Structure 1
């Protein structure tokens, strides 16, 4: 039987992918006035955080380059003038396969404690077990899903 957490991760990710489905490369790079990032950055950031919170904190290697990490880590700015920036389609493809990889690697490891130590989020939530890191990803992706929706409204209006 599948753990409810993976059902929720798939649900949230499918909603994110559906929201991104009609976004073009050009649209993904627009930064509306008053905003500090774009749709592509939010999508790449979602992937980066889930990768870090799933694999890195479980003591495993993340499947992204240092360059990708630098583009989409917290505090980074969108890619203007940077080289080797993935396209929105490449990011969508990464997002579409990530939850399956996470489930395959962690479905029997949810109670494991992070071998590299716990982490406290920017909002003060302490995380220690694999399940806690994955559960936080739901909240995080939901925040950036909403930002993507707002950016789309700004771009399409």
Structure 2
């Protein structure tokens, strides 16, 4: 019988695989293009996915993250590549982000396997969704990744990639 935890980790790996398929064939220059009328690039979206899942998976349960603090200011909600010039820390390259995206689901599984239903510091999203277990955080993370996967696909289409 499959453990209940396996399903969400499997979904995380499957969705991440779809995201990586949209990113793997891009050049760094292509990943930094911003479609007219938008404020972010494909590289920003990739970094944003890493940053948000990192926060959802590790911060609430109090697990240390290996990402530098600058990662959050570079890729969190409200940030954009326009602010990267003002940063002291270098912004991760596309290749570095791809590596983080590939490794992150395994790190999440390793850290949270058997802990998905523990009570953690609750968080209410800007849309009013209350999250109080790692499973709830990861479920929202899957939805969030799907949204940004759609954005990446849209950007590719708008940019002719």
Regarding TM over 0.5, the answer is: yes
d(CA) in 2 for partners of 1:98 and 1:35?
27
Partner of residue 105 from structure 2, selected from 99, 103, 118: 99
1:23 lines up with 2:26 in the alignment? yes
CA contact (8 A) 1:51 1:63 kept: no
Question: Could you tell me how far apart the structure 1 residues matched to 2:123 and 2:66 are?
Answer: 20
Once residues 127 and 69 of structure 1 are traced to their aligned partners in structure 2, the CA distance between those partners, rounded to angstroms, is 20
Q: Which residue of 2 aligns with 1:38?
A: 41
Q: Could you say which residue in structure 1 is the equivalent of 2:139?
A: 135
Number of residues of Structure 1 aligned to a counterpart in Structure 2: 155
Name 2:151's counterpart in structure 1: 147
Shift of 1:63: 1.6
Tell me which residue corresponds to 1:110. 116
TM-score (structure 2 length as normaliser): 0.92
Tell me how far 1:155 sits from its aligned partner: 1.3
When normalised by structure 1's length, the TM-score is 0.94
Match of 2:77?
A: 74
Give the aligned CA root-mean-square deviation in angstroms: 1.3
Deviation of the 1:85 alpha carbon: 1.0
Q: Which runs of 5+ in 2 are unaligned?
A: none
**1:48 has 2:51 as partner:** yes
Partner of 1:124: 128
- In 1, Cα distance between the equivalents of 2:123 and 2:62? 13
Once the two structures are TM-superposed, the CA of residue 28 in structure 1 deviates from its matched residue by 0.9
Distance in structure 2 (CA, Å) of the matches to 1:107 and 1:80: 35
Query: Offset at 1:124?
Result: 1.4
Give the deviation of 1:80 after TM superposition: 4.5
